């Protein structure tokens, strides 16, 4: 296992690499060029500048999250090949710079969706919250306004104001795209990119849909054990793999996450770990990484990774906002709760290492 931290880039993150150096056990920085919208070319010098900066602080920059996919690819329209060519160009450039894993998602229109970015918890901290009824009752534009308004101008991956300005048009384009069509469009994309990934040794790692159910009538196809199986079978190559995000699969109690990790372990290249608390009415809130605080058995999750000798990358995913970060930090990406999450995971991991050593003696 290699512990990593998601960082938003030079001059784009209040949390610097010097801060991150002080968190025990972190060896890698998960990065992206966050000003790039889906379909834009990534320049080699920008990639090099970021990689050099990351390496100068003693980290590796092996994982990029994300290179976003243009809607023309998800829609499977006549412009898709042009956008796939650009995607391949980015894969090649990232490989040249030493990147090993690319995380992406295939959610139409919206990336992760929440109704309140700063919902207060009983301890006075706050966190990302999803109110099921609200999403069922309002239109997509209202959600987009709510999220972009709440973020106070900070870049948030998947929520690019440029793209979301054209929501109505986008929804119109997706009106005939159902689950099967979306799977076919994903297959087309993978069949073109995976041979390149095999050639340049870059592993693709799809991120599950968040929340793990369809919203606003849009299909969502990476959200359960069966969906993941179908996805992996589209192109049966180790380079076609997963980002296994416990917080994204977590809000659906039917998802047995430890069992999913056991089953698909050899195709997991990147593990996102976080916890969610699910309420009876289907609402959920993001809580600390501690297993007892929510519905995801994070201890069991770490245990399964340990048992299988997981060699991939792990990062704490979203955390709560605390100790002055409330309403100030990039939603889900404060310093303190994620740092505590790392210590929690490493605590479990180190104990398991010790037990294993003792068994072998």
Q: Could you tell me the maximum CA-CA distance found in the chain, to the nearest angstrom?
A: 65
How far apart (Å, rounded) are the C-alpha atoms in residues 237 and 187? 13
Q: Which two tokens stand for residue 101?
A: 């894993």
Please, is 25 exposed, middle or buried when counting C-beta atoms within 10 Å of its C-beta (0-12, 13-18, 19+)? Answer: middle
Among 272, 277, 306, 320, contact with ligand DNO (rule: CB under 6 A): 272
209 catalytic, yes or no?
no
Question: Which one of 121-129, 142-150, 244-252, 287-295 is the stretch in contact with ligand DNO (CB under 6 A)?
Answer: 244-252
Catalytic residue among 318, 321, 329, 337: 318
248 contacts ligand DNO (rule: CB under 6 A): yes
Nearer to ligand DNO, 103 or 257 (CB): 103
* Shortest Å distance, C-beta 207 to Mn ion: 6
* Shortest Å distance, C-beta 30 to ligand DNO: 9
Cβ pair 201, 99 in contact under 8 A: no
The interface partner of residue 157, options being Mn ion, ligand DNO, none and the CB cut-off 5 to 8 Å by kind, is ligand DNO
Helix (H) or strand (E) holding 204: strand 203-207
Measured torsion, CA atoms of residues 296, 297, 298, 303, in degrees rounded to the nearest 10: -150
Task: Restricting to residues 220-279, name those near Mn ion by CB under 5 A.
Answer: 245, 272
3-class DSSP state of 23: coil
Q: What are phi and psi of 266, to 5 degrees?
A: -75, -10
Q: Which two tokens stand for residue 42?
A: 């990534």
How far apart (Å, rounded) are the C-alpha atoms in residues 197 and 95? 9
247 contacts ligand DNO (rule: CB under 6 A): yes
Number of residues assigned to the chain: 361
The interface partner of residue 112, options being ligand DNO, Mn ion, none and the CB cut-off 5 to 8 Å by kind, is ligand DNO
* Shortest Å distance, C-beta 158 to Mn ion: 11
317 contacts Mn ion (rule: CB under 5 A): yes
317 catalytic, yes or no?
yes
Integer Rg of the chain from CA: 19
245 catalytic, yes or no?
yes
74 contacts ligand DNO (rule: CB under 6 A): no
Of 78, 81, 67, 72, the C-alpha closest to 174 is 72
Question: Which one of 16-24, 39-47, 97-105, 294-302 is the stretch in contact with ligand DNO (CB under 6 A)?
Answer: 97-105
* Shortest Å distance, C-beta 70 to ligand DNO: 13
How far apart (Å, rounded) are the C-alpha atoms in residues 157 and 234? 26
Task: Restricting to residues 174-233, name those near ligand DNO by CB under 6 A.
Answer: 207, 210
104 catalytic, yes or no?
no
197 catalytic, yes or no?
no
* Shortest Å distance, C-beta 270 to Mn ion: 9
Cβ pair 231, 238 in contact under 8 A: no
CA dihedral for 197, 198, 199, 202, sign (positive or negative): positive
The interface partner of residue 66, options being ligand DNO, Mn ion, none and the CB cut-off 5 to 8 Å by kind, is ligand DNO
65 contacts Mn ion (rule: CB under 5 A): no
Nearer to Mn ion, 92 or 154 (CB): 154
Q: Which two tokens stand for residue 52?
A: 């050099």
How far apart (Å, rounded) are the C-alpha atoms in residues 274 and 291? 9
Nearer to Mn ion, 209 or 317 (CB): 317
The number of residues that bind Mn ion (CB under 5 A) is 3
3-class DSSP state of 80: helix
Task: Restricting to residues 302-331, name those near ligand DNO by CB under 6 A.
Answer: 317
Nearer to Mn ion, 94 or 245 (CB): 245
Query: By the criterion CB under 5 A, which residues form the site for Mn ion?
Result: 245, 272, 317
Q: Which residues bind ligand DNO (CB under 6 A)?
A: 65-66, 103-105, 111-112, 157-158, 207, 210, 245, 247-248, 272, 317
Active centre residues (catalytic): 207, 245, 272, 317-318, 333
């Amino acid at each position: 296992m290699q512990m990593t931290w998601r960082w938003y880039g030079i001059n784009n993150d209040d949390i610097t690499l010097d801060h991150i150096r002080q968190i025990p056990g972190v060896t890698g920085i998960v990065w992206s060029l966050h000003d790039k919208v889906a379909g834009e070319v990534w320049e080699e010098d920008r990639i090099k500048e970021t990689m050099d900066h990351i390496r100068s602080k003693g980290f590796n920059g092996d994982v990029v999250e994300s290179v976003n996919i243009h809607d023309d690819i998800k829609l499977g329209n006549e412009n898709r090949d042009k956008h796939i060519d650009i995607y391949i160009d980015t894969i090649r450039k990232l490989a040249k710079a030493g990147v090993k894993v690319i995380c992406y998602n295939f959610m139409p229109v919206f990336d992760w969706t929440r109704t309140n970015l700063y919902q207060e918890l009983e301890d006075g901290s706050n966190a990302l919250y999803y109110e099921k009824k609200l999403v069922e009752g309002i239109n997509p534009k209202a959600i987009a306004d709510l999220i972009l308004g709440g973020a106070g101008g900070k870049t948030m991956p998947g929520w690019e104001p440029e793209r979301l300005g054209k929501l109505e048009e986008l929804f119109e384009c997706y009106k005939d795209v159902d689950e099967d069509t979306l799977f076919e469009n994903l297959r087309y994309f993978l069949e073109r990119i995976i041979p390149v990934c095999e050639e340049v040794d870059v592993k693709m790692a799809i991120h599950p849909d968040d929340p793990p159910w369809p919203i606003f009538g849009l299909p969502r196809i990476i959200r359960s054990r069966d969906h993941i199986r179908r996805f992996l079978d589209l192109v049966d190559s180790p380079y076609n793999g997963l980002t296994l995000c416990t917080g994204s699969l977590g809000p659906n109690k039917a998802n047995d996450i430890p069992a999913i990790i056991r089953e698909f372990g050899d195709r997991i290249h990147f593990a996102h770990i976080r916890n969610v608390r699910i309420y009876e009415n289907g609402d959920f809130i993001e809580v600390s990484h501690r297993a007892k605080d929510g519905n995801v058995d994070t201890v069991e999750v770490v245990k399964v990774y340990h048992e299988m000798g997981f060699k991939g990358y792990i990062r704490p995913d979203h955390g709560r906002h605390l100790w002055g970060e409330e309403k100030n930090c990039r939603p889900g990406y404060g310093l303190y709760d994620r740092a505590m999450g790392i210590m929690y995971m490493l605590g479990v991991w180190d104990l398991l290492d010790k037990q294993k050593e003792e068994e072998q003696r």
